């Protein structure tokens, strides 16, 4: 093999590597943040893109995934990705204990639906975006629930969801994130409080049933009295009419 052939082979291999490393295919609903020599260069959109190998490289972002262990237990893990997912993402956070305004410790867990609208901010403005969103959601949830009594928490879930969404959307905007909605899944007060509430609800249902029964009895009595009154009036009218007819008959007979 001549030196020319060797050089040609090496050049071909080098060119092939350059092409493979330099061509980046970005899928729909994804983007890729590219750095050149450690500095932000550009953002690649969906499709075929070309970068300069060695000096250009993707900037990785930390992402949150749910992994399942052999025993079936699900655990949260964080991994690095070189692509930013622009689709709506759902984070299901574990239950946390929060204290209501009337000092009741309640377990609550929330779902947050969000999507990245600015990949550059999501990469550079925060170190660990998923962890930051989780911590911010937990803190905001504690603050919002702390302003409400337990009864309000149980009956105003939609209002709480909207307030959480508004606060989180504003707070995460600097990270290039849009919070679409927040949903409280479970609100679990302590067992003794729950039993007391159920007892109160049963008593309230019994009271309402008694009121309805009493109202029905009262209404029936009124209707019966009105019916008797009508019958008495009709009877009196009939007797009156009979007396008039008898008097007219007697007057005619004379």
Whole-number pLDDT of residue 215 = 76
Task: Encode pLDDT of 172-209 as tens digits.
Answer: 999 999 999 999 988 887 666 665 555 665 555 666 66
Looking at the DSSP bridge assignments, the partners of residue 181 are: 113
Whole-number pLDDT of residue 53 = 85
Task: Encode pLDDT of 67-93 as tens digits.
Answer: 777 887 778 888 999 999 999 999 988
CB 109 within 8 A of CB 95: yes
User: 116: closest CA among 63, 59, 184?
Assistant: 63
Whole-number pLDDT of residue 18 = 74
CB 167 within 8 A of CB 120: no
Q: What is the Cβ-side half-sphere exposure of residue 46, based on CA atoms within 13 angstroms?
A: 7
Q: At what angle do helices 157-172 and 129-145 cross, to 10 degrees?
A: 140
Whole-number pLDDT of residue 200 = 62
List the chain residues with pLDDT less than 70: 1, 6, 190-210, 214, 225, 227, 230-236, 238-254
Whole-number pLDDT of residue 232 = 64
The reported pTM is 0.69
Classify residue 37 by its DSSP letter. Answer: T
């Amino acid at each position: 093999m001549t030196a020319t052939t060797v050089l040609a082979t090496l050049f071909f291999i080098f060119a092939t590597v350059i092409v493979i490393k330099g061509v980046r295919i970005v899928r729909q609903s994804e983007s890729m943040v590219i750095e050149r020599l450690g500095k932000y260069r550009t953002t690649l959109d969906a499709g075929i893109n070309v970068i300069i190998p060695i000096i250009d490289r993707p900037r990785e972002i930390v992402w949150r995934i749910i992994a399942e262990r052999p025993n079936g237990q699900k655990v949260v893990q964080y991994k690095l990705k070189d692509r930013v997912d622009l689709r709506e993402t759902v984070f299901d956070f574990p239950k946390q204990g929060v204290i209501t305004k009337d000092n009741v410790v309640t377990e609550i867990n929330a779902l947050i639906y969000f999507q990245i609208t600015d990949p550059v901010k999501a990469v550079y403005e925060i170190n660990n975006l998923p962890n930051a969103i989780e911590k911010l959601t937990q803190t905001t949830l504690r603050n919002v629930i702390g302003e409400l009594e337990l009864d309000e928490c149980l009956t105003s879930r939609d209002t709480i969801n909207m307030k959480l969404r508004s606060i989180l959307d504003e707070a995460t905007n600097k990270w290039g994130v849009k919070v679409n909605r927040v949903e409280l899944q479970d609100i679990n007060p302590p067992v003794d409080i729950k039993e007391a509430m159920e007892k109160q609800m049963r008593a309230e249902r019994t009271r309402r049933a008694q009121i309805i029964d009493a109202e029905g009895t009262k209404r029936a009595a009124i209707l019966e009295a009105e019916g008797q009154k009508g019958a008495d009036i009709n009877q009196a009218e009939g007797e009156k009419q009979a007396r008039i007819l008898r008097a007219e008959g007697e007057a005619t007979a004379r």
